[in-house]
Amino acid sequence: MTFRDAIPAVCIAVALTAIAGCKLVKNTPEGEGGDMVSSQSGRDMTALVDEIWDARVVPHMRDNATDLATLGPAIEADLDAAGKAHGYRPSSEGSPWNFPVVVRGVIVSAKTDTRAATADVDVDGDGQADAALQLGPVIRGTALRDVLPFIDFTSFTDQIEFAQLSRALNTRAFETALKDLPRENLVGQKLEAIGGFTMRSRGDAILITPVEITVGSQ
């Protein structure tokens, strides 16, 4: 073999050595893989929520919430673009967008004569409600579960357990943020809250489940 003939063989050997020394690292999207909250069969979902609420749920909402004054117009312009920039949804086809949000505004109406109490909030100063906040004690929907990228159905035993997790999150939100909230004379008061909501299509009403809320006189 001549020196010239040996050059390709040497190059191939060097390349194979380099490949052998490389470690392929999977590019795992945020909230997937080892970062997932998971459960064993029969686990108490209330206990699981107790573990993750202060450690993961509330910090995630605080760190990722977008002001509704910014988010609302973005959704109105293009829901998918707003979702990609500010929201989260699982990869399954047809899943709605879920948004962590901060709301700052004035309560323009409140319905507190029901267990599924709500307060309507104006965030842009036009006197019209831009969103409704759930006050409980009945908290509807699965927004708090579905807005968290580190919680996925495939990490749980079945649909029943996944539904129990949602109820446990809603219960914890009521007990920590809403249970002691005054229910009288809410209209006209300033409100600031951090929470989550789900939106399937542009134009849907915004119904927010708070994890933190402060109400004070205007």
Q: What is the torsional sign of CA 17, 19, 22, 23?
A: negative
- Kind and range of the H or E run holding 184: none
pTM for the structure as a whole: 0.80
What pLDDT is recorded for position 39? 55
Q: Are the C-beta atoms of 37 and 50 separated by less than 8 Å?
A: no
**How far is C-alpha 85 from the geometric centre of its chain's CA atoms?**
13
Q: Yes or no: say if 112 and 183 are a contact pair by the CB < 8 Å rule.
A: yes
Does residue 171 have a pLDDT over 50? yes
**Span 128-158, pLDDT tens digits:** 999 999 999 999 999 999 999 998 877 676 7
CB atoms within 10 A of CB 39: 17
How high does pLDDT run on average in the chain?
84
Is residue 83 within 8 Å of residue 89, measured between CB atoms? yes
Degrees, nearest 5: CA angle 81-119-67:
30
Confidence of residue 119 (pLDDT cuts 50, 70, 90): very high
**DSSP assigned state of 105:** E
Sign of CA dihedral 193, 195, 199, 204: negative
Centroid of chain to Cα 163: 16
CATH architecture of 3-216: Beta Barrel (2.40)
What ranges do the domains of the chain cover?
A: 3-216
Mind listing the pLDDT tens digit for each residue in 39-53? Answer: 555 668 899 999 999
Q: Rounded distance, CA 130 to CA 102, Å?
A: 13
Using the predicted structure, report yes or no on whether residue 3 has a pLDDT greater than 80. Answer: no
Q: 39: left (phi > 0), else alpha (psi -120 to 50), else beta?
A: beta
